[in-house]
Amino acid sequence: MSPLPAGSVIGILGGGQLGRMIGSAAARLGFDVHIYAPDDSPPAARVAALHWQGTYDDRDTLRQFAESCDVITYEFENIPVETVEFLVSLGATVRPSAKSLETSQDRLTEKRFLNEIGIETGAYEAVDTVSDLETALEALGARGILKTRREGYDGKGQVRLKTRDDLAAAFDAIGAVPAILEAFVPFEREISVVIARDADGNMAAFDPSMNDHSGGILRTSIAPSGLSDTIIAKAVSMGETLARETGHIGVLALELFVLEDGTLLANEFAPRVHNSGHWTPEGCLTGQFEQHVRAVAGWPLGPVTRVFDVEMQNLLGEEALAPPESFGADAVVTLYGKRDAKPGRKMGHVVRRTGRA
């Protein structure tokens, strides 16, 4: 596909805040944006040229959407693989491909894939029954985190376990669905590599950020991470391997645990722009949303030089309703346009530049 000229249409599957920020970046580069989402007036649709409202198995509406777009991307990883495959069967260009999507949708498949391409993870066991859970917990040292294999995010669909816990109740709590038990990892810190790959295989990685989670939800990301150049280079190399082996086109994020001795273990990856990269538009010459648009549109990747030290903080629930001045004069606030400030819901984020890089 030749580079798309300004005025072309970029379609986005999904209508959440990531689609809203991708769409805004695309509009700034001169593209029109069409959103496909089943919801009525989702956040992304309200900054787009057109909103196609339909379910992800509505083939008639999907066909019309595909005919209106020059390239299609997606903003979250739970888009059905069948939807992407159908769009491709119509002749649509979808970036990233279904492989990135399919691999990341199932935690067991994801772990196995990462191991197969040489990226080490913590120990894990497949769990389909309570009996499996008992065996897995014993194998992993009497402690672990039980997670559904599919869906679940921001701490949902997971339970921390010890041997004396009620395992049947824990399995029921996640819906008694196929699951994975992950061993506890004694990490010193968590980081993520946000990296872009274009259709020619060129890659550009942002500085890894140090991430802090609470209740399974990302609260802050800080760049630089404070890690040595050696560890950073290894982390970026792991991200490059992942992008190359999936044939990914666009931005992806690889979350990593850093052990006290500097060992890196992969936690999971997201085949899309990522919450831990929300600082990049304010901290770098090119932000992750513009970079994703560039990659899927066939443009050269932009420079990812970090020009500021930054701290990004997620705004959850009613935190986003605070007066703008309360965030500080140096704060850049991004709100997602969500109408209900539910507890624990990501409503926006704030980025503070803490110094020159």
What is the CATH number for 257? 3.30.470.20
Band of pLDDT at residue 85, cut at 50, 70 and 90: very high
E strands present in 215-327: 217-223, 250-259, 264-270, 308-316
Residue 110 lies in a domain: no
The whole-number average pLDDT for the span 282-295 is 98
Separation between Cα atoms, residue 113 and residue 17, nearest integer Å: 28
Q: Once rounded to an integer, what is the mean pLDDT over residues 111-140? A: 96
Is there a single domain that holds both residue 193 and residue 177?
no
Asked whether residue 34 is assigned to any structural domain, the reply reads yes
Query: In this structure, is residue 115 part of a structural domain?
Result: no
For residue 216, being part of any structural domain is answered with yes
Contact status, residue 193 vs residue 205, Cβ threshold 8 Å: yes
Average model confidence (pLDDT) for the chain? 95
User: What is the rounded average pLDDT of the residues 145-164?
Assistant: 80
The confidence band for 98, taking pLDDT boundaries of 50, 70 and 90, is very high
Considering the domain architecture, whether residues 299 and 352 belong to the same structural domain is answered as yes
Q: CA end-to-end span of the chain, whole Å?
A: 36
Supply the pLDDT for residue 162: 80
Percent of the chain with pLDDT over 90: 90
More confidently predicted of 305 and 150: 305
* Residue-wise pLDDT tens digits, 309-329: 999 999 999 999 999 889 988
The predicted model gives 178-195 an average pLDDT of 96
Mean pLDDT of 284-289: 98
Q: Count how many domains the chain has.
A: 3
Are 191 and 175 in a shared domain? no
Please tell me the predicted confidence (pLDDT) of residue 157.
77
The verdict on 255 and 307 lying in the same domain is yes
- Residue that finishes a domain, picked among 94, 109, 133: 94
Q: Return the CATH number at 31.
A: 3.40.50.20
Of the candidates 135, 161, 182, which is a domain's last residue?
182
Domain range for 145: 123-182
Note whether 140 and 234 are same-domain residues.
no
Q: Residue 268: inside a domain, yes or no?
A: yes
Q: Examine the domain organization and report whether 156 and 262 are in the same domain.
A: no
pLDDT number for residue 214: 87
The confidence score (pLDDT) of residue 154 equals 59
27 within some domain = yes
Give me the mean pLDDT over the 87-93 stretch.
98
Q: Indicate the range of 95-99, 211-215, 307-311, 353-357 predicted with least confidence.
A: 211-215
Please tell me whether residues 345 and 263 are part of one structural domain.
yes
Residue 153 has pLDDT above 70, yes or no: no
pLDDT of residue 65: 98
What pTM was computed for the model? 0.95
> Pairing state of beta strands 124-127 and 179-182?
antiparallel
Are 200 and 334 members of one domain?
Answer: yes
Last residue of a domain, one of 136, 167, 182: 182
Is the model's pLDDT at 114 over the cut of 90? Answer: yes
232 plus 315 within the same structural domain: yes
Give the per-residue pLDDT at 152: 66
- 242 has a pLDDT exceeding 60: yes
The beta strand positions in 43-134, using DSSP E, are: 50-53, 71-74, 124-127
| Mean pLDDT of the region 280-295 | 98
* Residues in Cβ contact with 44 at an 8 Å cutoff, skipping those fewer than 6 apart: 12, 14, 15, 16, 17, 18, 19, 20, 22, 23, 35, 37, 75
Please give the radius of gyration of the chain, using alpha carbons only, rounded to the nearest integer.
Answer: 20
- Asked if 34 and 136 sit in the same domain, the reply is no
Task: Please report which confidence band the pLDDT of residue 1 belongs to, taking 50, 70 and 90 as the band edges.
Answer: confident
CATH code assigned at 157: 3.30.1490.20
Q: How far apart are CA 93 and CA 72, in angstroms?
A: 6
User: Has residue 112 been placed in a domain?
Assistant: no
Query: What H or E segment, with its residue span, contains residue 87?
Result: helix 81-89
Cα–Cα distance measured from residue 351 to residue 24, given in angstroms and rounded to the nearest whole number: 18
Same domain as 337, residue 276: yes
**45 pLDDT more than 60:** yes
Are residues 131 and 246 both part of a single domain?
no
Give yes or no for residue 131 having a pLDDT over 80.
yes
Decide if pLDDT at 31 tops 60.
yes
pLDDT at 155: 56
